[in-house]
Amino acid sequence: MARIVLIEDNALNARLAERILVRAGHTVETLTDGEQGYNWVLDNPPDIVLLDLGLPDIDGQTVAALIRQHPHLYHLPMVAFTAWPEAMAAEIAEAYGCDGVINKPIDARRFAQQVEGYLPLRQL
């Protein structure tokens, strides 16, 4: 099962996502702003990062850019987790090196599978 970092400032969204992923057997660390999130990922590289694009300090795109520029994190699976309009989110996520987008609000029945779809096979 996977170690997942969720960088999400909205407590309701974070709680729901965390509950679903834990129930699916994963461990989840939730960080509520960009700086904390990036530092955590740097110190404890997870199997995947779910990254809200709108964060209260450093925005999600800049966090994505930091992760992608770090030599140890360059290949880390990273998925934008956002309520932005889908087309806009997809374009921005791709430009900033995300592997994909999961749109909010989430579909609770599909969410764990969506996340697992971005994991390397050995984590499943």
Partner 1 sequence: MMDIQTASSGILVPASAYDYAALAEIYNDTRVDYIVPMPMNAARMKEYVRAYDIALDASFIVLDDGGEPVGIGMLGIRDDRAWITRLGVLPSQRGRRLGQALMDAMREAAWERGCRSIQLEVIEGNDPARHLFISNGFVDIRDLLVVRRPPRTGQTSPLLDITSKMTPIAPDDIAEILASRTDCPSWLDESPSLLQWGQLRGYEATTADGERTWVVYHAGTLQLTHFAFGPYIKASIARTLMFAVHTEHPRSDTKIENVPANSPYWPIMQSLGYIPTFTRQEMVLHR
Q: How far is the CB of 55 from partner 1 (least distance, A)?
A: 7
Query: Restricting to residues 33-62, which ones interact with partner 1 according to CB under 8 A?
Result: 33, 54-59, 61-62
User: How many helical (H) and strand (E) elements, i.e. helices and strands, does the chain have?
Assistant: 5, 5
Residues 6+ apart with CB under 8 A from 57: 33, 34, 35
Query: Restricting to residues 93-122, which ones interact with partner 1 according to CB under 8 A?
Result: 95-97
Number of residues that bind partner 1 (CB under 8 A): 23
For 98, half-sphere exposure in the C-beta direction (CA atoms, 13 angstrom radius) is: 26
Please, which residue, 32 or 123, has the CB nearer to partner 1? 32
Residues at the interface with partner 1 (CB under 8 A): 9-10, 33, 54-59, 61-62, 65-66, 69, 83-85, 88, 91-92, 95-97
